Amino acid sequence: MTRLGPARDLAHAERIAREMLTKAYVTRAEHDRLNIASQSFQWDAPAGDGMARYRVAGIELTAI
């Protein structure tokens, strides 16, 4: 996983952009669980794992 945050160079900026383009579609109930579980790791904890928030909420993600 690329560390998010200020880009060191163009290649790093591209890696950050690709990671941020990852989408997760959740139900309204799952969204509520996400909000209860924790803050968004993407923005509130730049060194965090963007999917950790989903694990904390007990939401299983499947890559498609």
Length of the chain: 64
Residue 29 is predicted with a pLDDT of 94
Give the tens place of pLDDT for each residue, 8-34: 889 888 887 777 767 778 899 998 998
Amino acid letter, 26 = V
Amino acid letter, 35 = N
Residue 2 is predicted with a pLDDT of 47
Name the percent of the chain lying above pLDDT 70: 67
Q: How far apart are CA 46 and CA 8, in angstroms?
A: 14
Give the tens place of pLDDT for each residue, 31-52: 899 888 876 655 555 556 667 7
pTM above 0.85? Answer: no
Residue 42 is predicted with a pLDDT of 56
